[in-house]
Amino acid sequence: MTAALELAGLQQCRGEVTLPGSKSIANRALLMAALCQPGERTLLTNVLRSDDTERMLEALAGLGVDIDIDAADATRISISGCGGKWAQVPAELNLGNAGTAIRPLTAVLSATLNDQNCVLTGNQRMQERPLAALTEALCRGGADICYLENQGYPPVRLAGGLRGGHLTIDGSESSQYISALLIALPLLPNDSVLQLQGQVVSWPYIELTLAMLERFGIQIHRISGQEFMIPGQQGYRSPSTYWIEGDASAASYWLAAGVLGGGPLRVHGIGQASIQGDLAFASYLADMGGNLDIGETFIDVSGGRLRAIDADLNAIPDAAMTFATLALFAEGTTHIRNIGNWRIKETDRLHAMATELRKTGAVVDEFADSIRITPPAEIAHASIATYDDHRMAMCFALLGFAAAGVRIIDPDCCRKTYPGFFSEFKRLCR
């Protein structure tokens, strides 16, 4: 474990970097592969190996899924489908702080458990992250769910029972709730209609889920902008092989570093062919003054002069965090709007970001669902708390390009999604 990391005096970022696989895609693909028909195997390639994906792998193994990890390349994982008929059901599954594991598993187990009980729990932070919008929607569809400690939060005991029908869900907290239902409802014997209420957050992640479901043989019919018809009695079908594209959220740190460090830097793993909404970060960065060229599966970046932006970034909340630290290097006041769901992530990211940015001398206004940042005349050295939040650590690495530098406390929290980030950062940035 590294207690703290000092970064200072960086002036360039150049070379080539290959992104690790997307966490969001990897955990969805692992679960979908397990839900394929018995006897069907799916080879997943470029699978991210991190805390979050390990929690999903452990959960699937606990449910008796046959998993074969390539001894020579741990990013190649073969999964044997079980069609939702689990070989075993453990008394408890601990998902750590992996929202992309606990949320879809809550829905899928509610659809597949038959006279069995399973407790889903996590670490202390997970037990502070709300689950009520999802569990209440599931209960309205017949699911048997019991909160074991605090109402609306893990741990929860599941006992199956989901019947489907007409379900509604508030989409203003997390798109993961909606994705979870879209993955689970095709398994039911009855057809379902899913109606989304409120302003849906992170809509591109729902589109990502729909694209992946189609690859795994599942049909979802769009009735209207916020309403879907999901036929029941569907079976997941293996695409045989499935490549996990690079993590577009992680790409944001490299694209930002390529602007601050002048480049040329090529980021492999995402591009025009990406199915991830966070690719939009590149367009906003170009609007901010970055010099970028987007290829089919890569992005080239070569410096730029930054100016502040004022933007609604509700669709890309994870990548939006990178603009908060980039704002310190931009001319003018940056306002990042409609990102209230930062508050229910790995930490309360709105408050954490505001607190840490102020240490640099910036003037920061924290609102209920937005943050406004005016950079100081000269960025002060800061010792940055990371709140056991991988994105806080990676965002603030950019302060290494400030003359005063930065001290990152607990940089190893990046193991959640990008264990090798700081090794790569020190290789490319000097």
Point out the residues that are catalytic.
318
What is the Cα–Cα distance from 87 to 34, expressed in whole angstroms? 11
What is the Cα–Cα distance from 233 to 190, expressed in whole angstroms? 7
The answer to whether the annotation marks 202 as part of a ligand binding site is: yes
CB-count burial class (<10 Å; 0-12, 13-18, 19+) for 77? buried
The answer to whether the annotation marks 341 as part of a ligand binding site is: yes
3-state helix, strand, coil in the chain (%, to 5): 35, 25, 40
Nearest CA among 126, 120, 164 for reference residue 142 = 164
The answer to whether the annotation marks 359 as part of a ligand binding site is: no
The answer to whether the annotation marks 129 as part of a ligand binding site is: yes
Token pair of 371 as six digits: 């943050």
The answer to whether the annotation marks 94 as part of a ligand binding site is: no
The answer to whether the annotation marks 174 as part of a ligand binding site is: yes
Neighbours of 84 (CB within 10 A): 23
Measured CA distances, 381 to 209, 254, 395, 403 (Å): 41, 22, 15, 8
149: Cα separation from own chain's centroid? 26
Which residues on neighbouring strands pair with residue 44, listed in sequence order? 77, 242
Strands (E), 171-325: 192-197, 221-224, 227-230, 241-243, 262-268, 290-294, 298-304, 310-312
The answer to whether the annotation marks 372 as part of a ligand binding site is: no
Instruction: Tell me which DSSP letter residue 143 carries.
Output: -
The answer to whether the annotation marks 226 as part of a ligand binding site is: no
The answer to whether the annotation marks 96 as part of a ligand binding site is: no
Nearest CA among 275, 196, 250 for reference residue 17 = 250
Sheet holding 13-18, edge to edge: 13-18, 262-268, 298-304, 290-294
The answer to whether the annotation marks 23 as part of a ligand binding site is: yes
Nearest CA among 336, 324, 317 for reference residue 203 = 317
The answer to whether the annotation marks 176 as part of a ligand binding site is: yes
CB-count burial class (<10 Å; 0-12, 13-18, 19+) for 1? exposed
What is the Cα–Cα distance from 60 to 109, expressed in whole angstroms? 11
The residue length of the chain stands at: 430
Residues annotated within a binding site for phosphoenolpyruvate: 23, 99, 129, 176, 349, 391, 416
Residues annotated within a binding site for 3-phosphoshikimate: 23-24, 28, 174-176, 202, 318, 341, 345
Residues annotated within a binding site: 23-24, 28, 99, 129, 174-176, 202, 318, 341, 345, 349, 391, 416
